[in-house]
Amino acid sequence: MADDARLDDPTADPMQIAAEAAAALAELTGVARHDIALVLGSGWGGAADLLGETVAELPAHEVPGFAKPAVVGHVGTIRSIRITGSDKHALVLGSRTHLYEGKGVRRVVHGVRTAAAAGCSTIVLTNGCGGLDPSWGPGTPVLINDHINLTTVSPLEGATFVDLTDLYSQRLRDVAHRVDPSLDEGVYVQFRGPHYETPAEVKMAGIMGGSLVGMSTTIEAIAARHAGMEVLGISLVTNLAAGISAEPLSHEEVLEAGRAAGPRISKLLADIVSDI
């Protein structure tokens, strides 16, 4: 099934569409229920191969509400993986819709809502981003302990009030620290994109308390909390943010940093998921 036009209809129920997508996933993968979801951003794709046995892999656009990826470096598949050493199943979402694509916030969070409808109680959100701390060189993984959403939008509609005080789970961050005690933590700031931030905007983010800047994750995290999932966020610093370094920014730089760090961060993520 191609991109579902119902997500553009304000009278349609996005939760119902997510439930239909989850039912389609169960039928297409043969897995009735999944336990943990992973959204793999730039640089993180290799982690899926280390999680366990792939039970099924399918093009995302065959599932209601999903579209083909519009960004180089993102894969357009959904995988069901039986996690090594357990009877649990991971749902790996390689197809991410960014807000800057202009497809609407419902599509940005459709994967998260589908994962929740498929049974996932935990979600790991990853991304590639710019770092404000000069000690975080390209290839440094950083746990997200809070966020600042500068996109001006929310995935929640109407009088839907959700507490975000502990959005990024302390329990899951503790698991990650047991796997790798050297992991730093930071506050992720999401800009709308697709242009990179100006040096002044990066400086503003730092004054506000941010230490990571990017174009994804926060809206998905809000939707995940609304759906009742426990959230772990991990950023891969692919470059120093504008103004922190004199070097110009480029998407190719992001991809190259992800490729270089891929084996190390993939093993890190797989070990964290195994512990979870």
Q: Which residues fall in the annotated binding site for phosphate?
A: 42, 74, 96-98, 128, 216
Annotated binding residues, as ranges?
Answer: 42, 74, 96-98, 128, 197, 216, 239
Contact 40, 92 (CB under 8 A): yes
SS3 of residue 143 by DSSP: strand
CA dihedral 211, 240, 71, 66 (to 10 degrees): -20
Note whether 120 and 37 are within 8 A (CB): yes
Directed axis angle between helix 170-179 and helix 251-275, to 10°? Answer: 90
Phi, psi of 92 (to 5 degrees): -105, 115
- Please report which helix (H) or strand (E) contains residue 187, including its range: strand 184-190
| Binding site per annotation, positions for a purine D-ribonucleoside | 197, 239
Task: Report the C-alpha dihedral over residues 41, 42, 48, 50, rounded to 10 degrees.
Answer: -130
| Residue (of 176, 26, 181, 177) closest to 114 by Cα position | 26
The identity of residue 66, as a single letter, is F
| Rounded-to-integer distance, Cα 186 and Cα 147, Å | 9
197 in catalytic set:
yes
- Candidate list 197, 201, 220, 230, residue with the active-site label: 197
What is residue 70's three-state secondary structure?
coil
Residues noted as catalytic: 197
